[in-house]
Structure 1
Amino acid sequence: MEGSGNSLADHSEKGLHILVIRFSAMGDVAMMVPVLSVLVEKYPQLEITILTRHFFAPLFSHLPNVRTYEADLNGIHSGMLGLGTLARELRDEEIDVVADLHDVIRTNVLRSLFYFYGIPFKQINKGRSEKRSITRENNKEFRPLKSTHQRYADVFAELGYPIDLDDYKVPPRRTLLPKIYEVVGKQSKKWLGLAPFAQHDSKCYPKDLMEQVLTELNSKGNIKIIMFGGGDTEKTQLEEWESKFENCVSVVGKLRFAEELSLISNLDAMLSMDSGNGHMAANFGIPVITIWGVTHPYTGFKPFNQPLENSILPDLDRYPKIPTSVYGNKVPEGYEDVMRSIPPEKVIEKILEKL
């Protein structure tokens, strides 16, 4: 952990205004939810402001004393001058301490500015050396690393607010508004969420294999497959499957993010890649089945409280360099098709087991 050197021990008995920083990506932001939930439950006197994208605000709408503050990193808060403006704005919000759960160049600039204002600043220990050890090709140290959720929690412990993530209470399912029923129909079947996309192709189950999964599930007749994604390319792909399979429906472009969250909270299970939708479903206690490519749950990004058996992995004997990277952005030669070592039957079996 890194900080300004200020002692925080005297703060542990009184409520503070904590600024929590995590700009992106969606999965990393969603992983804050269980941590902050336990934090505000144990320390109800705290006031929490999350510095992030405005789009992510619905993730935290159920948490008391938690609000979001928009980081306009492409506008007024861009560049060094913009970050200076942002730091002044936040100082004027009467921030007492800062929990940086991101540790990137921008947050390190903010750390210097908050140090100038005399505001204590603690940062996440990302475990970069451990992650290099588990992702390197030779002399790989293949072992489970500390979860990202726990790394987040450790920052609050450094601030004087230790928490136990085993205390997490799953929030109640959110109310389904009429708009949701208009899109997906009435809840007469099992609802399976499907999030088949990820930031990198190396983390996406091949289209032809996924179609085999959909063909089998669609034929069951008692499963509604609700598909999530974003962007024009993903929207087009999901619409193609929607037209091809009568029990598939895409929600891309049809629901607001808050409505998607309500829908996710009412699923019976979620099939996700190593991506954000799996984390959002896990926060609601939904069984989440994840398909992994060149990444691996040992790096600390497994959805919260999901058993390892819910992670469907490639053939690691055939592909011993996995994980090749933490984020899926490094694909060694010969590892382009690791996902093809996962048979569709294995995916189908796990889904039916959870449903």
Structure 2
Amino acid sequence: MERPHHILVIRLSAMGDVAMMVPVLKAFTEKYPDVKLTLLTPRFFAPMFKDLSNVQIFEAEVKGRHKGIFGLKKLSSELLDLKIDAVADLHNVLRSNILKLFFKLKGIPVRQLDKGRKEKKALTRSNNKIFEQLKATHERYTEVFDKLGYPIDINSVQVLEKQELTENLSAITGEKDKNWIGIAPFAQHASKAYPEDLMKEVLLKLQKGQNLRIFLFGGGKEETGKLAAWEKEFSNAVSVAGKLSFEEELSLISNLDLMLAMDSGNGHLAANFGVPVITIWGLTHPYTGFAPFRQPETNSLLPDLQKYPAIPTSIYGKNIPQGYEEVMRSIPPQKVVEKINEILN
């Protein structure tokens, strides 16, 4: 196959998986500046890629005009009009597989993400578990470009640069006269979120004798309401939920001294800027390949694996086996605070 000059890259969700593309696409554009990349993804995610040269965003409207089989047919026609000559499918789901059929009919080569389902099943099963580190998702992404004739080395890629704070953002943050910590206490599934009472203990401990300003990240009505209450309860905490655009959130994240997150998107966003990230893990595990970019293994805080040997019980934390409802409680708040202080000091 002749090396393509305009590659369509597909990744439609979720935020963390989209964020993990950033160092890969950055490494690609730096090594192959003459190759154009068109990224098919929701418009909301576009700010993640604004500093990447040769990356053009094409908005996927899978709940609107690109919905269903006819919508995807329309989408494929729109994309073919851009004169793409190859496809890197970094999602490999039903939608992208339907698109693949339309592209192949036009003779466009498609290379897809290998999700490693077999080894992930072996890692998450309760009997005869094969407990070993799997490939990082970043590495799986690079393999797709390798198949298209474009090998990438992400080990040497530079992280994104710190962003300027907007006037609106500066009004919320104030001057940076203290260490800035981001805390993103929520996750898509309950099994991946640190219990709220324990997180409040962490906040209480961080309030005592610390030269810190804490920014609380979340989204949606329920999370925004909880974080507004926490802001009132803890004098050095500021909730930014519902107050900032996504682009402003990224700017703030880039200026943090540390991010505390679950196995979720905010950790990946911070890691892309080289911000130290502490992740708290529940029923999932870094061995699944979803640890934030270039973060040391010691920054992953894990439950008591002797007490809960079935971890990881699933890749995304959807399933909660009987007796595993409280795994997060085996990670004491004091351990979280000690790790924060260790990194800041």
The TM-score bracket by the shorter chain reads over 0.9
Residues 147-162 of structure 1: matches in 2 within 5 Å? 147-162=136-151
Instruction: State the partner residue of 2:217.
Output: 228
SS at match of 1:220: coil
SS in 2 for 1:99: strand
Deviation at 1:341, TM superposition (A): 0.3
In 2, Cα distance between equivalents of 1:227 and 1:186: 17
Q: Secondary structure at the match of 2:38?
A: strand
Aligned to 2:79: 90
2:173 aligned residue? 184
The reply to whether residue 321 of structure 1 matches residue 310 of structure 2 is yes
Aligned to 1:48: 37
Query: How far apart are 1:220 and its partner, in Å?
Result: 2.5
8 A Cα contact 1:319 1:335, kept in partner: yes
2:182 paired residue number: 193
Picking from 131, 135, 138, the partner of 1:146 is 135
Which whole-Å CA distance do the structure 1 matches of 2:31 and 2:125 have between them? 39
Distance in 1 between residues matched to 2:327 and 2:14, nearest whole Å:
24
Give the TM-score of the pair, scaled to structure 2. Answer: 0.99
CA distance in 2, matches of 1:235, 1:220: 27
The runs of 4+ residues in structure 1 deviating greater than 6 Å are: none
Match status 1:31 vs 2:20 = yes
1:128 to 117, 120, 129: 117
> 1:341 pairs with 297, 309, 330, which one?
330
CA deviations over 1:204-261 (Å, ceiling 9, x no partner): 0001100110001012341101011100110011111100001000111111100110
Counterparts of 2:113 and 2:264 in 1: how far apart (Å)?
Answer: 21
* Correspondence 1:203-218 to 2 at 5 A: 203-218=192-207
Describe the superposition over 1:297-322 as per-residue Cα deviations: whole angstroms up to 9, x where unpaired.
Answer: 00000000001100000000000000
Task: For 1:244, give the aligned amino acid.
Answer: E
Retained in 2: the 8 A contact 1:221–1:247? Answer: no
Distance in 2 (alpha carbons) for counterparts of 1:337 and 1:114: 47
Q: Percent same amino acid at aligned positions?
A: 58
* CA drift at 1:335: 0.3
Tell me which of 56, 59, 78 is aligned to 2:67: 78
Which sections of structure 1, spanning at least 5 residues, go unmatched? 1-6
- Per-residue deviation, 1:102: 0.4
Which of residues 258, 262, 274 is equivalent to 1:285?
274
Is 1:166 aligned to 2:155, yes or no? yes
- Which residue number corresponds to residue 97 of structure 2? 108
Q: Distance in 2 between matches of 1:329 and 1:221?
A: 36
With normalisation by structure 1, the TM-score equals: 0.96
Quick one: distance in 1 between partners of 2:182 and 2:124?
Answer: 30
Q: Which runs of 5+ in 2 are unaligned?
A: none
CA–CA distance in 2 between the matches of 1:227 and 1:233?
A: 14
Could you tell me which of 99, 117, 142 is aligned with 2:106?
Answer: 117
Query: What do the CA deviations read for 1:33-54 (whole angstroms, capped 9, x no partner)?
Result: 0000000000000111110100
Aligned-partner SS, 1:191: strand
Report what 1:99 is aligned to.
88
- The alpha carbon displacement at 1:183 in A equals 1.1
State the 1:351 CA deviation.
0.5
Report SS of the residue matched to 1:20.
strand
Distance 2:186 2:328 in 1: 13
Q: Which is further off, 165-174 or 150-159?
A: 165-174
| Counterpart residue type for residue 56 of structure 1 | F
Give 2:301's aligned residue.
Answer: 312
1:4 corresponds in structure 2 to none
RMSD after superposition: 0.7
